[in-house]
Amino acid sequence: MALWPEEVQADARLLHEQLRLGDRDWHRWKADADRRAAEQLAAALAQLLQGQTEEAEALTDSALRWLRRDQRDPGCPRHGSRTP
């Protein structure tokens, strides 16, 4: 495992934070496949730089499914079934 400088890891985390869909914009962008793929790829890069190769691979696979339009968002977790 290569040890990456902390500055590089911090830059990757910052990029992911900037691309991540937050609560306020999730409904607006949830179906934008290119945006979702970018979010997943940034997360994969951040994980890879931390030595988390399995997580990076899973996130990269997810990004590729978004790019191929093979993946769709499962829906808002707040609008799911609720138990009384």
Q: What confidence tens digit (pLDDT) does each residue in 38-48 have?
A: 999 999 999 99
Q: Which amino acid is at 9?
A: Q
pLDDT digit string, tens, across residues 25-68: 888 898 999 999 999 999 999 999 999 999 999 999 999 999 99
pLDDT digit string, tens, across residues 7-28: 999 999 999 999 999 888 888 8
Look up residue 83 and give its two tokens. 């138990």
Quick one: which of 28, 44, 38, 36 has its CA closest to 72? Answer: 36
Quickly tell me which residue has 């899973």 as its tokens: 58
Quickly tell me which residue has 């609720």 as its tokens: 82
